[in-house]
Amino acid sequence: MVLHLGETELIGESLKRELTDMLEFAEEELECRRVLLGISRRRQDKDTLMRTLPFLGFACYEPRSGCADHLTCLDTDGFAYMAYAISD
């Protein structure tokens, strides 16, 4: 599952709750193994989000062509990606 936070999407004070709900939905309803969150490189709060998300279990994700799990739908120029692995 890939989600994108664009340049103008608002993020409320309830970010932790919103992400937790989204991750639970991805795991239970969609049976995803991993969730990628793309953060617009033009967001003013991008650096803060990139520092905060690891506390919620996200890790930096660097898409590379030639990699077995390379996703061609990822906009690597416009977005920085964080990944959340859903454990079995």
Average pLDDT for residues 77-82, to the nearest whole number? 89
- Asked if 35 and 26 count as a contact pair (C-beta separation under 8 A), the reply is yes
Dihedral of CA atoms 52, 34, 8, 55 in degrees, nearest 10, equals -10
Q: What is the pLDDT of residues 27-62, one digit of tens each?
A: 999 998 889 899 999 999 899 889 989 988 999 988
Residue type, 83: A
Confidence category of residue 68, pLDDT binned at 50, 70, 90: very low
From residue 70, alpha-carbon distances to 10, 43, 44 in Å are: 29, 24, 27
Q: Nearest Cα to 40, choosing from 1, 77, 15?
A: 77
pLDDT(71) > 70 = no
Q: Which domains does the chain possess?
A: 2-85 (3.40.630.60)
Phi/psi for 35 (5° steps) reads -120, 130
| Model pLDDT, residue 4 | 82
Q: Would you say residue 10 has pLDDT above 80?
A: no
